[in-house]
Chains A and B, each alone.
Chain A
Amino acid sequence: MSQEQIDKAIAKDYAAGFTTDIESDTLPPGLNEETIRFISAKKNEPEWLLEWRLEAFRVWREMDVPEWAHVHYPEINFQDISYYSQPKSMEDRPQSLDEVDPELLATYEKLGIPLHEQEALAGVAVDVVFDSVSVATTFREKLAEAGVLFCSISEAVHAYPDLVRKYLGSVVPRKDNFYAALNSAVFSDGSFVYIPKGVRCPMELSTYFRINEANTGQFERTLIVADEGSHVSYLEGCTAPMRDENQLHAAVVELVAMDDAEIKYSTVQNWYPGDAEGKGGIYNFVTKRGLAHTNAKISWTQVETGSAVTWKYPSCILRGDNSVGEFYSVALTNNMQQADTGTKMIHLGKNTRSTIISKGISAGKSSNAYRGLVRVGPAAKGARNYTQCDSLLIGDKCAAHTFPYIESKNPTGIVEHEASTSKVSDDQLYLCQQRGLDPEKAVSMIVNGFCKEVFKELPMEFAVEAGKLLEVSLEGSVG
């Protein structure tokens, strides 16, 4: 197989690129205090939250757009974005799936998450976020039996105000960074999870986010609190329809793992990456961070195949002694996509441990950067980190970069970093083709093999999905 064939197979169609024709209630573009008051009022929020948002907005106005990442895109005019959109039929929230607009449900069917079926299968509880309003939450009752709280963050503000007020912004403060501040000011919806002491969540929790309305930013906010000794596995999947314009997605995810608790957070991100020439696509600027108390464990697994530009570093603050942080990542860029992604492991407690396994795959003319920080604080006696960072190149027009930062302030800390860069070789493809596999299947198999260590961390049903997603995303990367 030749370079020419490789080039041909990298061009692919975005399988989730349809739009749903639903009347929406969309705020005109622009951002000022009034916008924030509107959003807050729409959601009937308490005064403290409005103030919290306004303070974030004030902080944000003083901040500069971060420019240190290895990505390039035209300047974003934040006044050109609409900050609120909700499908009209959602004015009165549906009480059950039967009341949900059938077109909405059809959208989810196309994405392969038939809610009805899921209810029947009783496997995964899905809190679906469509643009800004959570449309249906399944399995809430079953979860309630276990004492697990799982709902949209807007609902949680009303139903569990103490919890929300206590933890919102406790891991990612409003002034943390430019996009976190923006999100804090205008966040529209998202998920809220609380697992009580000693409870093992009886099912995988899952949220599918989807940006539908053109020119709307999506700013979801997720907060997961696992109380002492509890355990939860959460998965988010993301897709967005095809648009010529670029859309902004600036989410914040905060995880709190109390003593002996464990949170596993998996992401399959397939936002629209733009076309082969780099037109359109999502700007995915996300802040994700978890705080681990004594003996707690936080594990991030991400499969990132979408978005035009990705800027994302799911991190762990290992505050408690013996706490554990993990980051398993597959980031695939194709065509003109750019990704600057990685993690931060902040070791504060004694004997804290972290593992980072990052697999970057670059195809087409894309650019893929791993950026990771491992910091061992002065009190983190016996801290250990292991980092493995592998890059795979497909074709000869793409780029892979690695930016590891290591700061150790305790002499007993052990930090290991391994990195490799390899290429899908013509000889590998030839072997596969000689055995009867077509080039696309061959590349997909080679890439899946490369990602194996990360995929095995995903919940089983999603590991299969992730493998398929890679296959779709790589379509046209050979041929």
Chain B
Amino acid sequence: MLSIKDLRAEVDGKTILKGLSLEINAGEVHAIMGPNGSGKSTLGHVLSGRPGYEITGGSVEFMGKDIFEMETEERAHLGLFLAFQYPVEIPGVSNMEFLKAAVDAVRESRDEEAFDTVGFMRKAREACTAVDLDQAFLKRGVNEGFSGGEKKRNELMQMILLEPKLCILDETDSGLDIDALQVVANGVNTMRAEDRAFLLVTHYQRLLDYIEPDFVHVLADGRIVKSGDKTLALELEEKGYGWLEDEVA
């Protein structure tokens, strides 16, 4: 589904990714861990096409297509979803309106018929319940005045409704209390499917207590320095990242 080869990228002239390679197949859950500044979040934004991130080498194929040939929204249409670490507010645009427009745009790109308003509202309310958000949030402006935890759940709600192929969660667990963490984990676990993959970018092993990854990768200094199964995360938790950095050096 996703094939990253020797990816190099820079932001503001500073090289962040220095030859990163990663293969993700449908149905798999990958976790990427690593110290601050290792390039974890950059990876998510490079994949989704955030402006200001310059690709200086390597290639990325998603669903068999070169994603650097595509605009941000075209990647989204293909099924790439990024749950933001810091979701922005869009005042005055209701969550419902935003969700409907997004889902309509994605369905239109696939030549699928748009949901009728009533049908969509029902789906949106279900998604709200799934992430334990009050339905009043559907009427509020996108992320407008939401708490940190509410914003994260809102991201998850969008993910549920958009039914993406590849879900990238950028430190969705950071700043969440244990209840919210479980909500996020439940959401992800419910969505796990044969034709869907997850890339969990996280700082802590904590999230992986609830979402069991198939693979764990350690990112350090713009490269994946070690890959393994879920036990790697536990080892990291115990020994810290310093251990790996020493080993690599």
CB-CB under 8 A for A1 and B105, given A446-B93, A449-B90, A449-B91 = no
A368 to chain B: closest CB distance in Å?
18
Compute the total of residue contacts between A and B using a CB distance below 8 Å.
Answer: 81
Q: Tell whether, in the assembled complex, residue A431 and residue B101 are in contact, meaning their CB atoms are under 8 Å apart.
A: no
* Interface size class, chain A: 20 to 34
Q: Tell whether, in the assembled complex, residue A430 and residue B93 are in contact, meaning their CB atoms are under 8 Å apart.
A: no
Q: Tell whether, in the assembled complex, residue B97 and residue A445 are in contact, meaning their CB atoms are under 8 Å apart.
A: yes
Q: Which of chain A's residues 414-446 have a Cβ closer than 8 Å to chain B?
A: 425-428, 430-439, 441, 445-446
Q: Which of chain B's residues 72-123 have a Cβ closer than 8 Å to chain A?
A: 72-73, 76-77, 81-82, 84, 87-88, 90-94, 97-98, 101-103, 105-106, 109
In the complex, chain A residues whose CB is within 8 Å of the CB of B71 = 433, 438
Q: Which residue of A lies closest to B51 (CB)?
A: A2
Q: Which residue of A lies closest to B75 (CB)?
A: A434
| Residue A412 at the chain B interface, CB threshold 8 Å | no
Q: Identify which of A426, A438, A449, A452 contacts B73 (C-beta below 8 A).
A: A438
A136 to chain B: closest CB distance in Å?
36
Q: Identify which of B48, B82, B105 contacts A437 (C-beta below 8 A).
A: B105
B interface residues, how many (CB within 8 angstroms): 32
| Residue B162 at the chain A interface, CB threshold 8 Å | yes
Q: Tell whether, in the assembled complex, residue B88 and residue A448 are in contact, meaning their CB atoms are under 8 Å apart.
A: no
A453 to chain B: closest CB distance in Å?
8
A457 to chain B: closest CB distance in Å?
14
In the complex, chain B residues whose CB is within 8 Å of the CB of A427 = 88
| Residue A272 at the chain B interface, CB threshold 8 Å | no
Q: Which residue of A lies closest to B48 (CB)?
A: A434
Q: How far is the CA of A428 from the CA of B49 in the complex (A)?
A: 14
Q: Which residue of A lies closest to B108 (CB)?
A: A436
In the complex, chain B residues whose CB is within 8 Å of the CB of A431 = 84, 87-88, 90, 142
Q: Tell whether, in the assembled complex, residue A441 and residue B88 are in contact, meaning their CB atoms are under 8 Å apart.
A: no
| Residue B158 at the chain A interface, CB threshold 8 Å | yes
Q: Which of A433, A438, A452 has the most CB of B within 10 A?
A: A433
CB-CB under 8 A for A452 and B92, given A438-B73, A445-B98 = yes
Q: Tell whether, in the assembled complex, residue B88 and residue A428 are in contact, meaning their CB atoms are under 8 Å apart.
A: yes
B55 to chain A: closest CB distance in Å?
15
Q: How far is the CA of A426 from the CA of B71 in the complex (A)?
A: 15
B200 to chain A: closest CB distance in Å?
17
| Residue A450 at the chain B interface, CB threshold 8 Å | yes
In the complex, chain B residues whose CB is within 8 Å of the CB of A448 = 92-93
CB-CB under 8 A for A441 and B141, given A433-B73, A436-B76, A448-B93 = no
Would you list the 7 A-B pairs with minimal beta carbon distance, nearest first? A449-B92, A449-B93, A435-B102, A433-B72, A436-B76, A436-B105, A436-B106
Q: Which residues of B contact A (CB under 8 A)?
A: 48-52, 71-73, 76-77, 81-82, 84, 87-88, 90-94, 97-98, 101-103, 105-106, 109, 141-142, 158, 162
